[in-house]
Structure 1
Amino acid sequence: MKLLEKFPKTIKKYNEAIVAFALAVAAAAFIKLPTLFGISLGQNESFYLRNMSLFVLPLLTGYFIWKRRPDTRILPWIALVFIAAGIFANVYAFDRQSDTELLLALHLPITLWLVVGIAYTGGRWSQVGRRMDFIRFSGELFIYYVLIGLGGGVLTLFMALIFNTIAIDIEPFFESWLLPCGAVGAVIIAAWLVELKQDIVESLASMLARLFTPLFTIVLITFLGTLLWTGRGLEIERDVLIAFDMLLIVVLGLLLYSISARAPNSSPGVFDVVQIVLVISALTADVVALWAIAERITELGFTPNRVVALGLNVILLVNLVWSARLYIRFLQGKGSFSDIEKWQTDYLLVYAVWAAIVVIVIPPLFGFV
């Protein structure tokens, strides 16, 4: 009798596995499709850079549409966003080694990730709980993707070793087939695994968030203390600027995931104090970065990278200021944790809109340089 009760669930899991693997194969096929038109990966890196997210995110969105069965009225809008993304990714005539092309390639997936989120929530994006579920899913997907990537790296190394013993170089196969096909296909497989093993991954992801939050807090405090002690200014060169903003984004990601993994009805604890210290440290670091960017713009003028960095840091500043306020109120017993959840999930739209502005407006504004 129990076997019969489990049978529909087993069939459902097999169906999900079949769909996920079929979509992973489709993503691998899509990324090789341009080669039929003479657009090879080795000779057209900029094309693949701009379109990488379009090879996989529409399929991932399709997976969640198939699984969640959202209201069909949102489907034309989802399709329209992906069509528009494809147009803007390919219509601009960028200069060689264009900064605006790189900015488009980095920000297009951010905008499209919101569309994935709408599909993931089954069209119920307005519900805070569903948005928090999507944040949890995003963190867990990242963990699984990294693990798959590490496993793929070990597999590739093993392949290279054994084929070298018979004097066959697999590097061309790796660069042309295994790496690009595996990179896009693994996104679908990782998403399926998160859905399949959600409880296990949730526990792992929560543990990692609790481990790295105090470590990043220590790093930021040490950095700010060293900056104050030495009296040195922040040198905002392109690579330094990207690295510094990446650090702030990682910190924000830790904050988001820690919030999503916390029981909303539990009382304030030691980890919440660590969180507020992290927020205030990140806020201070962001102010330092903004000051350095403003000085750079005053001295050398506007460039695409500086404008985007300025906008990103202003957006992060607003988020961190209000997050600090809400967290302090929560620790004082004057506010609820749900206020923090709502603020962070509402703010996801701001990131997506800013990323869309970078994709659509910044390249023509700076002449596609």
Structure 2
Amino acid sequence: MDNNNRIIENMANPHELESMFRKEPEAFKKSFSDAWEQYPESQVLAAWYERLHFKETANTEKASLLQKDFLSMGLLAILAGISSRVIFHFTEQQIIAPINLVFGILPFIAAYFVSNNTPKKNVLYTLASLFLISGVYLNMLPLEHKDSVILAYIHLPIFLWVVLGLAFTGNEYGKGRTRLAYLKFNGEFCILYASMAISGMLLTVLTMQLFRFVGMDISEFYFKNVVLFGAAALAIVATYLISRNLKLSKHIAPYIARIFSPLVLTTLLVYLVTVIWVGKNPFLDRNFLLSFNGILLSVLAVTIFSITESGTDEKKNISDYINFALIVLALIIDSVALSAIVFRLSSYGITPNRVAVLGVNLLIWANLIWIMLSYMRFLQNKTGPSTIQDAVTTYLPVYGLWAAFVTFTFPLVFN
């Protein structure tokens, strides 16, 4: 009696079928098709059919999905590269401002997010409208180096970054966990993009040197047509790799956060002691006040990166105390900066730069207070780490609103 007949004979004997499969799995699979053709109505054989073919079907579906994602990534990367090159051409002709280069990258990253997680129509319309309005408004501004226009240029990418977050979160834009995922994506994106950019720079240096050996200087051509295209396309590639759960960036990000937090804390403490020692005064020294604000933004970025990479572990460790110390230090820096800005406003009058710096410092001060209080409750075992993450994610739209306010109103108010 051949193996096919044994399968049919033992359709009512699951133990024997399992034994046959384990002894000779390949022979079982080959002969199963004949039995399935003769008895397609058998529930037992139907269950075995799914068992034998499910993995193959799943892999086929997964492969087709990966292929679709890869093709969409490739198309968007090419479009981003071409768009950036075209925009750069017009900036060279001084027809449009260089800040327009953000429209060669961010809309295509948003398109990739939307293609992988299609949101509702109202979200799609909002995204398209915000990008369109921003682009039109930006190019209506005069190409002048006025403070209000420069502030609009600086704040526009911040506003578009929040808009990009809407594309990432999709229909779940109101949920803290999706906003936290967006912040994590940004940290992993920076790590991965920087790694690939360094490789690109090495390739550029090698290419330049090779052509110099034959007496050709291709630096200008290479920058305009290869480096610029590659830098824009690489942003889409990095987005694709992170969305595919690339383990490199996900595994390295928490370690970078743990390493950089104590280093930043130590460096800042030494710096502040040195500043006090040499008698630098942010109330009178404008450049020092600007550097103070730069330090504040850096500390805030490092702190948020550390919080987003800390996970949901209820156990406290040394990283939590370092993060808390960083927040307190940032709050001290921000309080000093706020005092200096108010002093300069009252002494020297209102300017768009002073109003913009005052506004962003007030926003950061309020955010730091919220994060600090949440951290205090966590360290006192009154809440979990989710409250700290909520203090970070819930506040994100506020920065977007302020950036939009500066971008769209300052050039009109301070004209």
Q: 1:120 aligns with which of 168, 190, 204?
A: 168
Moved more, 134-143 or 291-300: 291-300
Contact 1:224 1:285 in 2 (8 A): no
Moved more, 16-25 or 286-295: 286-295
1:43 aligns with 2:93: yes
Give CA-to-partner distance per residue, 1:299-327, whole Å, 9 cap, x none.
33232222211111111111111211111
Contact 2:341 2:354 in 1 (8 A): yes
Q: 1:74 aligns with which of 117, 123, 137?
A: 123
Shift in CA distance, 141/63, structure 1 to aligned 2, threshold 3 Å: same
1:14 aligns with 2:67: yes
- Tell which has more relative contact order, 1 or 2 (C-alpha 8 A, sep 6+): 1
Contact 2:281 2:288 in 1 (8 A): no
> What is the CA–CA distance in structure 2 between the aligned matches of 1:179 and 1:238, rounded to whole Å?
36
Q: 1:24 aligns with which of 62, 77, 92?
A: 77
Name 2:281's counterpart in structure 1: 233
Contact 2:87 2:100 in 1 (8 A): no
> What is the CA–CA distance in structure 1 between the aligned matches of 2:302 and 2:328, rounded to whole Å?
14
Matches within 5 A, 1:107-186: 107-186=155-234
> What is the CA–CA distance in structure 1 between the aligned matches of 2:232 and 2:352, rounded to whole Å?
28
Give CA-to-partner distance per residue, 1:273-316, whole Å, 9 cap, x none.
11110000111111122222223333332322222111111111
1:285 aligns with 2:329: no
Contact 2:367 2:395 in 1 (8 A): yes
Amino acid at match of 1:150: I
Contact 1:235 1:292 in 2 (8 A): yes
Identity of aligned residues (%): 30
Name 2:111's counterpart in structure 1: 62
Matches within 5 A, 1:327-346: 327-346=375-394
Report the secondary structure of 1:333's partner residue.
coil
1:305 aligns with 2:356: no
Name 2:150's counterpart in structure 1: 102
Name 1:5's counterpart in structure 2: 58
Q: Shift in Å at residue 240 of structure 1?
A: 4.5
Report the secondary structure of 1:254's partner residue.
helix
Moved more, 309-318 or 223-232: 223-232
> What is the CA–CA distance in structure 2 between the aligned matches of 1:239 and 1:81, rounded to whole Å?
34
> What is the CA–CA distance in structure 2 between the aligned matches of 1:176 and 1:63, rounded to whole Å?
25
Q: TM-score, normalised by structure 1?
A: 0.91
Moved more, 263-272 or 54-63: 263-272
Name 2:399's counterpart in structure 1: 351
Report the secondary structure of 2:142's partner residue.
coil
Amino acid at match of 2:141: Y
Amino acid at match of 2:134: A
Shift in CA distance, 100/337, structure 1 to aligned 2, threshold 3 Å: same
Task: Specify the structure having the higher radius of gyration (Cα).
Answer: 2
Contact 2:91 2:98 in 1 (8 A): no
> What is the CA–CA distance in structure 2 between the aligned matches of 1:166 and 1:198, rounded to whole Å?
40
Q: 1:254 aligns with which of 302, 309, 327?
A: 302
Name 1:91's counterpart in structure 2: 140
Unpaired runs of 5+ residues, structure 2, are: 1-52
Shift in CA distance, 101/200, structure 1 to aligned 2, threshold 3 Å: same
Contact 1:49 1:105 in 2 (8 A): no
Report the secondary structure of 1:93's partner residue.
coil
Q: TM-score, normalised by structure 2?
A: 0.82
Q: CA RMSD in A?
A: 2.1
Aligned length: 362
Shift in CA distance, 3/245, structure 1 to aligned 2, threshold 3 Å: farther
> What is the CA–CA distance in structure 1 between the aligned matches of 2:201 and 2:87, rounded to whole Å?
25
Report the secondary structure of 1:361's partner residue.
helix
Report the secondary structure of 2:172's partner residue.
coil
Unpaired runs of 5+ residues, structure 1, are: none
> What is the CA–CA distance in structure 2 between the aligned matches of 1:63 and 1:335, rounded to whole Å?
37
Shift in CA distance, 144/244, structure 1 to aligned 2, threshold 3 Å: farther
> What is the CA–CA distance in structure 2 between the aligned matches of 1:239 and 1:68, rounded to whole Å?
45
Shift in CA distance, 242/186, structure 1 to aligned 2, threshold 3 Å: farther
Moved more, 136-145 or 330-339: 330-339
Shift in CA distance, 52/345, structure 1 to aligned 2, threshold 3 Å: same
